[in-house]
Structure 1
Amino acid sequence: MNTFIDGLRSTVQWLYAVTSIPILVYFTLINLSFVVLICTAGLQFRRYLRMRDASVDTLGGELALGVSVIVPTYNEEVGVVTSAKAMLSLRYPRHEVVIVDDGSTDDTFALLRDAFDLIRIPRQVPQDIPLRSLITEVHVPRDGHTRLVVVRKTNSGRSEAINAGINAAVEPLVAVIDADSILEPDALLRVSKPFTDDPTRMVATGGTIRAVNGSRVVSGRLVKLAMPKTWLARIQVVEYLRAFLIGRTGWSRLGMLILISGAFGMFRRDVVVEVGGLDPDSIGEDFELMLHIHKHMIDTGRDYSVEFVPEPVCWTEVPSTFAVLARQRRRWHRGLWETLWAYRGMMFRRRYGRIGALALPYYWLFELFAPLLEAFGIIVVLLGLALGIVNIPYAILFLVLAYGLAILVTLAAMSVEEWAFHRYTRWRDLAATVAAAVLENFGYRQLTVFWRLSGWWASLRGKKQVWGVMTRTGFDEVES
């Protein structure tokens, strides 16, 4: 036994000698990148808030391009009618709503048919984006003026459903939104403004996605924002704040935004058609689409732009159970790995500029490999403590770099939210947000490290991804 302990102690001492400096350098770099993103996000917010001071009504003038809102649905009988009505009532001069029923087995279509008095029409949907599945029916309201189109098709997944909706769309811009998400009334006005300002260069925009759990939602509209009751959902609230208000906003300012959330994004229809739509075989289809667009525009020598709107424009339910959250995070990391690997040829090639030289290497080092290196660091430190050989100053420095600065980044995101939008009006909600920013690092973060690594490992083993089901409460339910 003593021989084993001595051997283990020697191994851990060797690991310390070999990896301590590289790990410290890694965590220093990742936190320096956070500082850069915070600074650039701050500059972007100053610019955005100056422009936002003008009345939003000026955004909806004659220059606004038409938008087709694509809503893929599968077994969304809870809330689908409310969602459709909310989408139709969005403030925008010209928009249609295209709901794609991806072979639902519940009453999704029946409820839509009854609510909008739908009739079947002999409309042929063009195959601008080739589909593997069959479109069976197209329905529109009998009144002839409600701009709603319901496309029914055989089941083949979210990406195919979105592609079918894009094929059916008639407007130059397409906004893709999940059926279980809630849009602000002026969301289309906000997110389409970059297209109005720069119609020839702008190809895609996204906005801030926020967690709706715990808030009061009536008729598909957020009427009162509040923090969720459970700490699991509260921690996800601060995750979303950090990811969007700091991460996406900072990358947009740097001109290197390569990810727009699948929950809500707006695109030029012709560009999405040119790249063949969303990849039905991709787990991270939103990330894959954006990298495909970047590559396509650069390869064809066209000047273009992608922009992020920091305004909260979309609200979505986050997982309320560990089982659902685990599936989500496994899927996200698997999608990250598979997409980065598919587009590895863009790395460090001069023609891809900042995307290939900075953005993609960042995602490889600080997104893909982050859970692996964090898990390694935790294991080495714990073994060192157990064997009595840990360097205490090193352990403290590791914890500060790994967790202390992460808390500061989250608090910075919360400060930005309070300064710019002031959505949380109750002190207890602000206190819960601060507490969640701290608690995230003790247990929750380590769980996500494990989930992300397991998703990556499943992909390397060729294991088929199972999406699972997330139970929704419906938009008209009140959660306090």
Structure 2
Amino acid sequence: MDKETNEARALLYAREETVRPRRTPGSRRRSERPLFGELAVEAGLLPADMLTPALDRQKRWGGSLGKVLVSTGAMSSADVARLYGRQRGVPCVDLRDEPRDPALADPEALDFYLEEDCMPWQMRAGETIYIAGNPDKARTAIATREGRHLPVFVTSQSGLRQTLARDFAATLTDRAVFGLMRQMPESSAALRLTQTQIRILAVCAVFLLAMLPSFATTIVTSINITLGLVFIALSGLRYTSIFVGLTSPPSREEMAYENQGTPQDPELPVYTVMVPLFREARVLPILARALQDIDYPASKLDIKLIFEESDPETLAAAKALKLPDHFEFIVVPDSLPRTKPKACNFALPFARGDYLVIYDAEDSPEPLQLKKAVAAFEEGDKKLACVQAQLNYYNWNENWLTRQFAIEYAAFFDLLLPTMVRLGMPIPLGGTSTHFRTALLREAGAWDPNNVTEDADLGLRLALLGYRCGVIRSTTQEEANCRLPNWVRQRSRWIKGWMQTYLVRMRHPLRLYRAIGFRGFMGFQLLIGGFTLSSLVHPLFYVAAAFAIAKNGTLTDFNHAGLAVFNALVLVSGYSLSIAAGMAAVSARGLFPLLGQTLMMPVYWLLISIAAYKALWQLITNPFHWEKTEHGISSMLESRFSGSDEKLASEGAH
């Protein structure tokens, strides 16, 4: 092996397997390689009195001392790279001062660069020099790929990944936008309706129009009754969730943490946390505080803050927080569609964790949530691809709208989703606090960039592939939408995404039925199809009942009277069952002031119908438009914002 190769032998994050007794630098034998911690003190990068606490933390968490120091903000990734280079006698490359030669990198080798955390840097003396975040790990793989041993220098991992994201932006964007379409075209919402679906709808429409003149009353009555039964069935599912969700035995993974706990910190796997951001500068301090409060070894957290190129303000606000270097910033180039799932797809190749969770900008997850998810995955079988945490709101009592929103979320996440899991039905995942096995997420094609409710779609796609999703008892607090226009934008996007999901999954209904079985298929029809349909048509029951009663000013016509009674019963029974579920959910969560507010659900549902009609219009005219929800507008934000801001400032000063 040549001299240059010998000089390049390096390890960015050299693992110190045991914590050795401290010695002064002068007492070290010449034959020994200098210890990383002692080098850090000698270089003035780490105060001497901080070395022992850092070594103690390394012992508790496991992993290298360098990762511990980076994740606690004691040192930067670039400083760690330089120290390891000095420790091993290896050149260290700072890509800000010595950029790579763009002619050397092969876009088709991007997966190799990402997997091995390396890339070709420059040519010297006719030899290609590679840089790597972990040269000892990458050296053998590089030699295998190139057919010979090459020099491998060290560089900071964060700088390397930023360079890969920037220089291979076109390739990463292409994969983010078109990856699912190429891998599973039948699962992509890029096409609203297939030719088969168009033909079926056309035949049904022609048949209906042909029959209407002769059987108008019969057809209208039949449609009315069918829709009423769907509405009652959906409400019945909600009512059933009271008993199944609250009294039936929970699944094994649901209570795995309480029953089994998790492995010791040194044995915990690396966990990727991804947070897509767009115009979120206002809530960034709260997010940063929440992520730093997570009860998980910081050296094993792989945090990705994902920014849009068209939103430099949020990126600037994040840089101003001076977060530790294990918070990695990924900037997504501006391209269509401008959606959250596309941004997540762009960042996914950089994920290093065995598990991965998505959070929204305003989220404050329970500190133990990641450990609870690990326990669930450890307890579950290999078909458990995802677990969904519960969602609710810190500002639930701010106004009438937030109170109704909190009732809805409690009924959905605390009762309905656990019920569907226990009954063996696939679940539509929420848009946040969804924890995945990273390998299975990639196998499933990740997120559909054209579906504006990406996780609801992904939950069904995982079920179609033979995997399942579970739930865990851990709550993420969010900011409930407290302004009606903002709420309508958010809700119309959600319903439009459910419409997209239903149309995509019903391209092959028999295939779906065989994959998820009778109960799963009926659950899908009721929840995704039934909820969307009832949101659109349930106001018409008021109109139909009023029209039937007002017909000739009497109830002497039996058909009209019977239909009026039926529609009235649909509304009363549907609302009663749903209100009962809402009461049970808020009682179980301890939100007793909301009990009386459940009686206002009929008014709230009319608002949902307004959003549903907007969603239907956008599905036709602008299907991939992402209606941005404004965060940080709650009157209760100031106390949370101020507290988080002060804590971050004090920690930065310290």
Please give the range of the TM-score, normalised by the shorter of the 2 chains.
0.7 to 0.9
Match status 1:174 vs 2:356: yes
Q: Aligned letter for 1:472? A: G
Residue in 1 that maps onto 2:426: 257
Go from structure 1 to structure 2 and tell me whether the alpha carbon gap of 1:305 and 1:29 turns closer, same or farther (over 3 Å shift). Answer: closer
Structure 2: segments with no counterpart, 5+ residues = 1-214, 556-560, 641-654
Q: How does 1:150-189 map to 2 (within 5 A)?
A: 150-155=329-334, 156-189=338-371
Matches of 2:491 and 2:254 in 1, distance apart?
36
Structure 1 residue matching 2:639: 3-state secondary structure = coil
Residue in 2 that maps onto 1:320: 482
Please say if residues 286 and 362 of structure 2, whose CA atoms lie closer than 8 Å, have aligned partners that are also in contact.
Answer: no
Please say if residues 273 and 359 of structure 2, whose CA atoms lie closer than 8 Å, have aligned partners that are also in contact.
Answer: yes
Structure 2 residue matching 1:318: 3-state secondary structure = coil
Structure 2 residue matching 1:107: 3-state secondary structure = helix
Which of 248, 268, 282 is the matching residue for 1:78?
Answer: 282
Residue in 2 that maps onto 1:293: 462
Q: Aligned letter for 1:105? A: D
Matches of 1:153 and 1:49 in 2, distance apart?
35
Deviations 1:237-276 (A, max 9, x none): 1011111111111111122233111122111111222233
Residue in 2 that maps onto 1:363: 527
Structure 1 residue matching 2:488: 3-state secondary structure = helix
Shift of 1:12: 11
Go from structure 1 to structure 2 and tell me whether the alpha carbon gap of 1:401 and 1:66 turns closer, same or farther (over 3 Å shift). Answer: same
Go from structure 1 to structure 2 and tell me whether the alpha carbon gap of 1:68 and 1:466 turns closer, same or farther (over 3 Å shift). Answer: closer
Deviations 1:181-240 (A, max 9, x none): 111111111233211213633211111100222xxxxxxxxxxxxx42310111111011
Which has the larger share of helix?
A: 2
Go from structure 1 to structure 2 and tell me whether the alpha carbon gap of 1:270 and 1:95 turns closer, same or farther (over 3 Å shift). Answer: same
Which of 217, 235, 245 is the matching residue for 1:41?
Answer: 245
Structure 1: segments with no counterpart, 5+ residues = 1-10, 118-140, 214-226, 299-303, 419-423, 425-429
Go from structure 1 to structure 2 and tell me whether the alpha carbon gap of 1:55 and 1:110 turns closer, same or farther (over 3 Å shift). Answer: farther
| Greater RCO, CA 8 A, separation 6+ | 1
Q: Aligned letter for 2:612? A: R
Residue in 2 that maps onto 1:405: 577
Residue in 2 that maps onto 1:439: 600
Go from structure 1 to structure 2 and tell me whether the alpha carbon gap of 1:22 and 1:463 turns closer, same or farther (over 3 Å shift). Answer: closer
Go from structure 1 to structure 2 and tell me whether the alpha carbon gap of 1:396 and 1:277 turns closer, same or farther (over 3 Å shift). Answer: closer
Go from structure 1 to structure 2 and tell me whether the alpha carbon gap of 1:63 and 1:305 turns closer, same or farther (over 3 Å shift). Answer: farther
More off after superposition, 76-85 vs 44-53: 44-53
Matches of 2:424 and 2:233 in 1, distance apart?
20
Match status 1:351 vs 2:514: yes
Residue in 2 that maps onto 1:125: none
Go from structure 1 to structure 2 and tell me whether the alpha carbon gap of 1:152 and 1:344 turns closer, same or farther (over 3 Å shift). Answer: same
Identity, % of aligned positions: 19
Q: How does 1:4-403 map to 2 (within 5 A)?
A: 18=222, 21-44=225-248, 51=255, 54=258, 58=262, 64-93=268-297, 94-103=300-309, 105-116=311-322, 141=324, 146-155=325-334, 156-198=338-380, 200-213=382-395, 227-295=396-464, 297-298=465-466, 304-309=467-472, 311-349=473-511, 350-354=513-517, 357-387=521-551, 388-389=553-554, 391=561, 393-394=565-566, 396-403=568-575
Moved over 6 A (4+): 11-16
Matches of 2:257 and 2:331 in 1, distance apart?
42
Deviations 1:84-124 (A, max 9, x none): 2421331124322111122253432233323326xxxxxxx
Go from structure 1 to structure 2 and tell me whether the alpha carbon gap of 1:450 and 1:170 turns closer, same or farther (over 3 Å shift). Answer: same
Please say if residues 362 and 631 of structure 2, whose CA atoms lie closer than 8 Å, have aligned partners that are also in contact.
Answer: no
Matches of 1:113 and 1:241 in 2, distance apart?
36
RMSD, aligned α-carbons: 3.1
Shift of 1:67: 0.9
Please say if residues 44 and 249 of structure 1, whose CA atoms lie closer than 8 Å, have aligned partners that are also in contact.
Answer: no
Please say if residues 207 and 265 of structure 1, whose CA atoms lie closer than 8 Å, have aligned partners that are also in contact.
Answer: yes
Go from structure 1 to structure 2 and tell me whether the alpha carbon gap of 1:193 and 1:44 turns closer, same or farther (over 3 Å shift). Answer: farther
Deviations 1:315-351 (A, max 9, x none): 1112111111111121111111111111214524453
Which has the larger share of strand?
A: 1
Structure 2 residue matching 1:472: 3-state secondary structure = coil
Q: Radius of gyration: which is bigger?
A: 2
Go from structure 1 to structure 2 and tell me whether the alpha carbon gap of 1:398 and 1:185 turns closer, same or farther (over 3 Å shift). Answer: same
Shift of 1:49: 11
Please say if residues 12 and 384 of structure 1, whose CA atoms lie closer than 8 Å, have aligned partners that are also in contact.
Answer: no
Please say if residues 333 and 452 of structure 1, whose CA atoms lie closer than 8 Å, have aligned partners that are also in contact.
Answer: yes
Go from structure 1 to structure 2 and tell me whether the alpha carbon gap of 1:197 and 1:65 turns closer, same or farther (over 3 Å shift). Answer: farther
Aligned length: 410
Shift of 1:290: 2.0
Deviations 1:26-63 (A, max 9, x none): 34433332333333212456567994784886465555
Please say if residues 74 and 103 of structure 1, whose CA atoms lie closer than 8 Å, have aligned partners that are also in contact.
Answer: no
Match status 1:448 vs 2:578: no
Please say if residues 275 and 304 of structure 2, whose CA atoms lie closer than 8 Å, have aligned partners that are also in contact.
Answer: yes
Go from structure 1 to structure 2 and tell me whether the alpha carbon gap of 1:471 and 1:91 turns closer, same or farther (over 3 Å shift). Answer: closer
Matches of 2:322 and 2:363 in 1, distance apart?
20
Q: Aligned letter for 1:252? A: V
Structure 1 residue matching 2:389: 3-state secondary structure = strand
Provide the TM-score with structure 2 as the length reference: 0.57
More off after superposition, 152-161 vs 251-260: 152-161
Matches of 1:436 and 1:336 in 2, distance apart?
27
Structure 1 residue matching 2:306: 3-state secondary structure = strand
Matches of 1:82 and 1:25 in 2, distance apart?
45
Matches of 2:495 and 2:370 in 1, distance apart?
29
Provide the TM-score with structure 1 as the length reference: 0.76
Please say if residues 92 and 189 of structure 1, whose CA atoms lie closer than 8 Å, have aligned partners that are also in contact.
Answer: yes
Structure 1 residue matching 2:390: 3-state secondary structure = strand
